[in-house]
Amino acid sequence: MKKTYLLLLIFFLASCSSSNNDTPLPDNNGNNNDGTPVLVTKVITSGETSTYSYNGSKLFQIINITKGNVTTFTYTNDLITQSETIGPNPQTNQYTYDTDKRLIKLIASGVSFGTSWSLESDYTYKPNNRVEIKFYKKFTPPLQRRRGSVSAVLNTDGSLSSWNGSFDRTLNDNPGVIATSKLKTVEYDTKNSPFKNITGYLKIIDLENKNGSSHNTLNYDHMINYEYLPAPTVEAERTAFKSDFEYNTSAYPIKETRTTYANYKGSPTTINISTFEYNHL
């Protein structure tokens, strides 16, 4: 069950990386098509294939061919206000923004492996590039509730830098777990994220895949310390990965090799390879 504690704010979209070789021409966004942005069209991760379709630069649909999931996106002007996934694990996300076009609320619900869940997250922006995220998540059956908050630091471009947080979990109204979490400073490259030109995509920040950055994540390291009640047993869990990229001549990734570390000792546990295809490239 510990692994599920990492899913406090996650809503599915995609992972970070993509591209194909090209010869850039002047003033055409580096993709040999005047005024047309580079958009990722296919991601293959460890044999699992997802395709992306658009209305202009607005994301219309992601189809996970391997799993049979279809995610459709709704916009209000240039902001993503809803995503709906149909398939084996259905899910709906609704996003609300303030007048500065910053995400201030996420309401999500779905079914995962036979368990229904709902999530509400509220974002409050503070001085000095900080944002507080308060969340409440519920699962049935059995009845589980998780409530907590994250104090996150943003980079000057609005992307996620680090956070400290805490949460508690109750099972059938009985106290069970309290925890603290810490995300070390996220390291990015200076290249182009495959998702940087998708309208509204960088406005969404969650735990891992959506970090608000137009660059690619090189190092991500998140530690959770659990205290189980009533017995004062403390355990730690680390979720971390390191990514190496291959880029095309327009500085978009065409291949990502991600090594994921799943325990506090830092020994590699999995290696996943993703490849990326784009329009026009």
Domain definitions of the chain by residue range = 2-278
Mean pLDDT along residues 247-275: 88
Determine the Cα–Cα distance for residues 222 and 206; give it in Å rounded to an integer. Answer: 13
| 149 three-class SS | strand
Specify the pLDDT at position 264: 64
Least trusted range by pLDDT, from 81-90, 195-204, 220-229, 252-261:
220-229
User: Over the stretch 186-202, which tens digit does the pLDDT of each residue have?
Assistant: 999 999 999 999 999 99
Confidence check: pLDDT of 239 > 90: no
CATH 2.60.120.1090 correct for 2-278: no
DSSP lists the bridge partners of residue 188 as 217
Least trusted range by pLDDT, from 45-54, 78-87, 211-220, 221-230:
221-230
Specify the pLDDT at position 225: 87
Q: Among all chains, which residue has been given the structure tokens 């998708």? A: 198
Better pLDDT: 86 or 1? 86
Which one, of 86, 142, 95, lies nearest residue 114 by Cα?
142
DSSP lists the bridge partners of residue 163 as 152, 183
Confidence check: pLDDT of 8 > 50: no
